Chain A
Amino acid sequence: MPYTRTFDTMQEERDETIERVRRAIKPLPPTDAHAVARVLSAVHGRTPQPTPRWREFLDWMRAPSLSFAAAGSVAVAALFVGYMLSGTAPTLRGPNSAAPAVAVAASPAVAEEPLPVVPVSTALDAERAVPVQFVLDMPSAASVSVVGDFNEWAIDQAPMQKFASGAWSVTIPVKPGRHEYAFVIDGKKWMADPRAPRARDNDFGKPGSVIVVNTP
């Protein structure tokens, strides 16, 4: 007996109560750009599993068929397959770029250019530090930097990049643990991160925030 999908009607299962439940909880939550940024930071530096050779072969086989005019290249293709299966071919997946190009796409409501992950500095121990992306919405600022106990509160250590949306972003390596930080607007105004827990106090008597970086 051939396999067929069950095209039973969902409508039969959905009475008024279930429909009310759907209306109440089906709407999607708004895109959290910071959560998306954290996802992209989490994959930053990771190397995906290489495509198995058998998968590469199957993908190639599923490519659009050659036209009759190209029939002569079938022999070349056969030679290529043999070359791939011989184990001497270089991987089709090139080495990961040392310069990350991970984009953090903005919220759909804003429809802006993506926020790339800026290459990290090497000032901290790269073996333990975790890339952390800091984002601040401040269209009116001329410059924004992030300062914290991870960069000795130096204003010039982590300047942020501005994007068309007016958001500022930088990714820097931060060691696992609890850290305090703040944004410095236009070189002089300190500001806590509106999306992070507030630091109770810091040695500078200025507003600050707390971030806890987990061990990768």
Chain B
Amino acid sequence: MNALLPALQGARRGDRHAFAALVELLHPRAMRYALHMVGSNEDAEEAVQDTFVRVFDNLSRFREDAAFDPWFFRILANRCRTLIAKRKRRYSVIEYGDLPANASTAASTSGEFAAEIQYVLNQLPAEQREAFLLRHIEDMDYEDIAAVTGVGLSAVRMRVKRACDALRVQLNAVYQDV
């Protein structure tokens, strides 16, 4: 948030250079979340772009002393949920760039593992996938996740727990020897 603050303050004042800096700072994080939520690069980019448009439109209403992450991710999570409901995609391959031709076996294995993780995530109900990503990838505390999702703390905890349990069961069954 420290690196974000000057860009955020400038963007709130209408400085478009500052908004561009804000986009560049947040875009990778937003794409990481959206990719794992919606499962395809094209859909993730659409969700992220829509999010930044909404942020641009409404930044003046954002309280500067409030936490930015929950506000930003609330918009992003809403866009992802809308896309999921609209597209009802089940499983797609995530592209993080092609591995080089001489990629080691370890790198190939980790790429397969990432794909397997995404497969398991895609089988989860969207709300569990969302809670897991916010908790264990975005490192949000439960209060912020509750603010993002609009559900209570108990429900958030339960969703995270169920997601973790499902991941453990599925991944440990497949990768017992890894």
- Which A residues lie at the B interface, using CB under 8 A? 5-8, 10, 13-15, 17-18, 20-22, 24-26, 28-32, 35-36, 38-40, 42-43, 46, 48-52, 55, 58-59, 62, 93-94, 96, 100-105, 108, 114
Contact = CB atoms under 8 A, between A and B. Distances in A.
A13 B31 CA distance: 25
A192 B143 CA distance: 49
26 contacts: A6-B141, A7-B141, A15-B168, A21-B117, A21-B171, A22-B136, A25-B32, A25-B114, A25-B118, A26-B137, A29-B32, A31-B24, A31-B27, A32-B31, A35-B31, A35-B45, A35-B48, A36-B27, A40-B23, A42-B49, A42-B53, A43-B19, A48-B58, A102-B16, A102-B20, A105-B23
A200 B93 CA distance: 26
B27 A5 contact: no
A36 B52 CA distance: 10
B105 to A, nearest CB: 16
Given A25-B117, A28-B29, A40-B19, 8 more contacts: A22-B136, A31-B28, A32-B31, A35-B45, A39-B53, A49-B60, A58-B63, A104-B20
Contact of A49 (B24, B58, B97): B58
B21 A105 contact: yes
A30 B172 CA distance: 29
Nearest to B161: A13
A24 B110 contact: yes
Nearest to B138: A26
B17 A101 contact: yes
Given A10-B136, A30-B97, A48 B57 contact: yes
Nearest to A107: B24
B56 interface: yes
A59 B171 contact: no
Given A17-B171, A48-B60, A43 B141 contact: no
B16 A100 contact: yes
A24 B117 contact: yes
4 tightest A-B contacts by CB?
A105-B24, A103-B20, A51-B60, A28-B28
B45 to A, nearest CB: 6
Contacts of B53: 39, 42-43, 46
A50 B14 CA distance: 10
Contacts of A13: 135-136, 160, 164
B35 interface: yes
A175 to B, nearest CB: 20
A103 B16 contact: yes
